Every structure is written in structure tokens, then in C-alpha cells.
Homo-oligomer: A and B are copies of this chain.
């Protein structure tokens, strides 16, 4: 059986978790834009102060930092710092041929930590709560990565 084929349940599990994380990350961009349009603030480019179909009634001060928008930018940035590395580490982990139950726990567990991180960040929970969910997700990535190195090193040496 091919490792990277949807007939391999470990790969199918990975591809669902990876797709959910991709949707979650690009979703942050939509949330940021919706928030900007809702509060009419937090824009970043000078030309965004012009009157357009999406910005029919410009108001002074629309361009500039605003924490109600920047919060979503920070969540988005946190995804950029984490999700791409999960996507590649997960694919390499699939190729080590792990048991399905291990793959399910790690892949879906990662998705869960990111959803909880989003909840904690979006609702302004104290730093330690969001740091806990972030750390759990990072530990999953580190664990998979170390396993990949271990498997690869056995072959290379």
C-alpha cells in the first residue's frame, strides 16, 4: 500500500487534520477583514482610506493600529508561526508508518490545541491559558519531528 494514498487511513487522517488547519488559518484573514469593516478601523495601507464599494463611508483615522483588529492579526500571526511546520512535520510523520491510533491522537489533538488557543486569545484569557494550549501544540510538533529524525537517522547511519 502507498503511504501517501487516501487508502492509507493514517494519511487520510493527516489530510483531514491538515485541511482543517489550513481552513482555520485562512479563516483568520477573513475574521481580520470582517473586524476592520465592522469597526471601520485598523486598516494598514494609505489607499484603504479611500471611498470604495467595501468602504462606502470612510472615516478619519481608519488607517492605523487598533487592538480590536490587531488581536486577530496576532492570532493569525501565531498560526503562521506554527501551522506550516505542523503540516510538514505531520506529512513526514505519516511516512514513518505510525499506528493509526497514535496518528489520530497527535493530529486531532493538535487541531484541538489550536482551536482552544484561538478561544483563549480571542476572548482575552490570561497569558498562561493561551500559553498552555500553544505549548501543547508545539510539543506535538516537536515530538513528531524527533521521531522523524530518529527513524531517518537509523536509516542514514
Which residues on A are within 8 Å of B, measured CB to CB? 2-7, 9, 11-13, 15-16, 18-20, 22-23, 25-26, 29-30, 33, 43-48, 50, 52-55, 67, 71, 74, 76, 80-85, 87-89, 91-92, 95-96, 121, 124-128, 131, 138, 141-142, 145-146, 148-149, 151-153, 155-156
Contact = CB atoms under 8 A, between A and B. Distances in A.
Given A12-B155, A22-B141, A45-B74, 9 more contacts: A6-B95, A15-B151, A16-B153, A19-B92, A19-B148, A23-B145, A26-B85, A43-B127, A47-B124
5 contacts: A4-B95, A26-B138, A47-B127, A52-B126, A80-B81
Q: Which applies to chain A's interface (DSSP): helix, strand, loop or mixed?
A: helix
Contact of A96 (B6, B22, B26, B151): B6
A76 B81 contact: yes
A8 to B, nearest CB: 9
A16 B124 contact: no
Nearest to A43: B127
A156 B3 contact: no
A92 to B, nearest CB: 5
Nearest to A79: B81
Contacts of A138: 26, 29-30
Nearest to A20: B149
Contact of A19 (B7, B13, B18, B149): B149
A92 B15 contact: yes
